[in-house]
Amino acid sequence: MLRKSLLTAIAALVISACTTSPTGRSQFIFMPDNQVDQMGLQAFSSMKSKNPLSQNPRYNQFAQCVTYSLTREVGGQWEVVVFEDESLNAFALPGNKIGVHSGLINLVDNQDQLAAVIGHEIGHVLSRHSNERLSQETAVSTGLSMVQAVTQPQTALGQTALGLLGVGAEYGVILPYSRIHETEADTIGLDLMARAGFEPRQSINLWLKMDKAAQGGQPIEFMSTHPSHASRIDNLNQRMNQALQLRQQALNMGKQPRCAK
């Protein structure tokens, strides 16, 4: 009887935790979003206190201009910080926090290429990928200790929790997003940058530049924590016509970002 009651309770939890992502994919999410947001805020605060921030006003203005052009399309209050770090990386955390490395700003040629990366990262947040991964991890292994662990990044469990949030490499732990999450973030990011008036075809140039930099031996944290598959560009190209239509609609509405690098 007890076993039957337990199975019933578990089934009820699974059913109640089923939700739908922005692309229509079924997700298993049961952690409260405000709890996951708080974990993101804690992680971001810790990163700002332990890693050097860029004092370059041009870098900061560029990153802010691109980010705010994108986030106007999704609403909410977002914070973007440029970290003084030559690795090619950017990330977004629950709680609407975005980090961009100075090395990435040096790499990109224009506002559209930076928008491709930041739009992709915002896509992870909008799809609640951190919550999905934390929910799965909590459900199968460590219970609520995962929630508490984010306040102790020096511990092994704390590093795992931060990796699940999407920080990972900052603490020596890399937990890549799945191929499904990556494709979803690519799709959302491409549409988002187009709706904001950025040139979506520059996303292809961005990934080509990333690949070229990797072949040259330059460390690319973004590519290591976000696996690049041969199908990525193909997937983007398959959606490009729709993205170009979205961009034309944006231009017709007067949305023309002018973010100078």
Give the tens place of pLDDT for each residue, 125-170.
998 877 787 776 665 454 445 555 555 565 544 555 555 555 543 4
Helix axes 129-137, 33-50, angle to 10 degrees: 100
Check whether 235 has a pLDDT greater than 70: yes
Residue 19 within any structural domain of the chain: no
Query: For position 207, what pLDDT does the model report?
Result: 87
Determine the average pLDDT of the residues in 37-44. Answer: 89
CA nearest 246: which of 188, 193, 206, 179? 193
Give me the half-sphere count of Cα atoms (radius 13 Å) on the Cβ side of residue 44.
Answer: 22
pLDDT tens readout for residues 238-257:
999 999 999 999 999 999 99
pLDDT band at 232 (very low <50, low <70, confident <90, very high): confident
pLDDT band at 17 (very low <50, low <70, confident <90, very high): low
Check whether 5 has a pLDDT greater than 50: no
Residue type, 84: E
Check whether 31 has a pLDDT greater than 90: no
112 vs 193: CA distance, rounded Å: 8
Residue 17 within any structural domain of the chain: no
Query: For position 49, what pLDDT does the model report?
Result: 93
Instruction: With H, G, I as helix, E, B as strand and everything else as coil, classify residue 92.
Output: strand
Most confidently predicted of 54-63, 88-97, 228-237: 54-63
Report the run of H or E that residue 97 belongs to, with start and end.
strand 97-101
Check whether 200 has a pLDDT greater than 70: yes
Residue 107 within any structural domain of the chain: yes
Q: What is the pTM of this model?
A: 0.77
Residue 194 within any structural domain of the chain: yes
Query: For position 84, what pLDDT does the model report?
Result: 97
Least reliable range by pLDDT among 81-95, 138-152, 222-236: 138-152
Check whether 72 has a pLDDT greater than 90: yes
Asked about 121 being catalytic, the answer comes back as: yes
Residue 10 within any structural domain of the chain: no
54 vs 47: CA distance, rounded Å: 13
Least reliable range by pLDDT among 156-170, 185-199, 215-229, 235-249: 156-170
Residue 7 within any structural domain of the chain: no
Q: Which domain holds residue 63?
A: 33-252
Query: For position 163, what pLDDT does the model report?
Result: 58
Which residue has better confidence, 24 or 195? 195
> Which of 84, 121, 170, 182 is the catalytic position?
121
Our count of domains for the chain comes to: 1
Residue 78 within any structural domain of the chain: yes
Residue 258 within any structural domain of the chain: no
CA nearest 112: which of 236, 213, 50, 204? 204
Whether residue 78 contacts residue 62, with contact meaning beta carbons closer than 8 Å, is answered with no
